[in-house]
Structure 1
């Protein structure tokens, strides 16, 4: 019997977000404080008497995700390049780890080109977010549950492992060398890359616009208050950074078409980003009475 731990964990995360989100969105006032405080964080955090069972950390600790993610993705990208171009041997301990995470019956469902391209783009995104969170974003003094903090690390570990577990050259450390051929580039690779880079650009624009709301013309931080953002995708949705994140992982799904595990990563990201965007949208509407009525939460003209 195949036991894919990655699929199980990602499925549980997705189900948890969907179930808890539905409860928060519809019957929040009837829920225990512990439940609500566990789910809400940042600007839409729970404002009542806090539960003593909850451990919170500064929201600015989001930065730690990307310190880890940038190093973790880069290490695996170097390993993949070594296997594909320098005939490196896959470490035996990694074969055992991947077998434990994605079953010993795993197969290479995507080409070396698709695997390398997807991991390269994920690495670019990690370093891009590292730069944004350390040198662009201006965080307020809000907090988040320690569970959110832990899940951030789980996400990047799971995403990288979901790619390499079904990549040629990562199934075992024996057999013929992996053949990397540019002729294997597909339309999905091309369209996926263009979509990814387009979304990455707009995610950066959103981060800059949000940061500028708290800075003066010289770039000095003058306030930590929340204000209504305008410009670029903010004219369409309240959370363009969440929309961009969804599009980037959708792009990786196109590139990794055929993978059995990666779609579970995408569904987790989709559910998480949509729920976060909805809570953000409703918070903006309750906070600012003149908030643009035509602006949607995360999907332009739809949601």
Structure 2
């Protein structure tokens, strides 16, 4: 029951990131408006001129907002979906209507079992909650900004993930028998990968935060430094690498035939690959003593 609407949207979003991203990597001296649309934070560098995009920019610290939204949306979705599948609760009519619209009418496959669907939405809820707490208590944001397009992609991703899951899962009115559910080895290994990569994701953000704090945990600077230790010894962006693994874990739990969830995963792959390469180049250009053995995203490879 894949959703052509959601798949088409995320594939289109992936292309919109990869195409200008590759252009920027090949031709760095693009017009300021293009750079402002594509990049944010330190990777954007110092502006040489004003552009219209600056009128639709928000603080980078607004990451907190779409994680908070994700907590609410996926938390409520987890309650509704679990109650509908395993306790026979009547799901909200608006959700049934929305899924009826999104699901392809010519497909009857259920690529993600009910148990795995609940696990997936629960994993996203945990991801949103952890990142929200990190944004508040761990990360130290400068005054850098991002444009509303980046912000809205985050809003859409976290507020529609449960729909991507449910488009390839049993109907919420099906009342599946939990005893007959067989999520398989992919669900087990997906959850294990999620836990492992989430821990290292947190560690990377903690390293970033500590670069701007003193021994008492007080912010002492907003300047950038070379992060060291852990996965930073292998790649410039272990936080992006771990996010790639986190979404790979989502795909494993969903099942390799769940095209709707995998379209989201592909979008994350595209986004993190371009962001990692741009950040890696920025580190090399900014710090002349930057470790030469580091790769951008994947240890020893890319």
Range class of TM-score, shorter chain: over 0.9
Kindly report structure 1 stretches of 4+ aligned residues shifted beyond 4 Å: none
Q: Residue by residue, what CA displacement relative to the aligned partner does 1:267-294 show, whole Å, maximum 9, x if unpaired?
A: 0000001111111111111111101100
Partner of 2:129: 127
Q: 1:198 aligns with which of 196, 208, 215?
A: 196
Q: CA deviation at 1:90?
A: 2.4
Is the 1:240–1:298 contact (alpha carbons within 8 Å) kept by the matching residues of 2? yes
Structure 1 unaligned spans of 5+:
none
Separation in 2 of the partners of 1:103 and 1:95?
Answer: 14
Q: How many residue pairs align between the two structures?
A: 297
Deviation at 1:84, TM superposition (A): 2.1
Relative distance call for 1:83 and 1:183 in structure 2 (3 A) is closer
Single out whichever of 197-206 and 160-169 deviates more from structure 2.
Answer: 160-169
Aligned positions of 1:51-90 closer than 5 A: 51-54=51-54, 55-90=56-91
Residues 183/6 of structure 1: CA separation in 2 closer, same or farther (3 Å cut): closer
Report SS of the residue matched to 1:181.
helix
For 1:113, the equivalent position in structure 2 comes to 115
Q: Distance in 2 between matches of 1:123 and 1:53?
A: 32
Partner residue in 2 for 1:241: 239
C-alpha displacement of 1:53: 4.3
The Cα shift of 1:106 comes to 5.2
Measure the CA separation in 2 of the matches of 1:182 and 1:206. 40
TM-score (norm: length of structure 1): 0.93
1:55-110 per-residue CA deviation (whole Å, 9 max, x = no partner) reads 21111111111010111110100111101221112222212112223334454221
Instruction: Give the secondary structure class of the aligned counterpart of 2:52.
Output: coil
More relative contact order, 1 or 2 (CA 8 Å, 6+ apart): 2
Equivalent-residue separation in structure 2 for 1:220 and 1:85 (angstroms): 47
Task: Determine if contact 1:110/1:259 at 8 Å carries over to the other structure.
Answer: yes
Structure 2 residue runs without a partner (length 5+): none
Deviations 1:250-274 (A, max 9, x none): 1111111121211101100000011
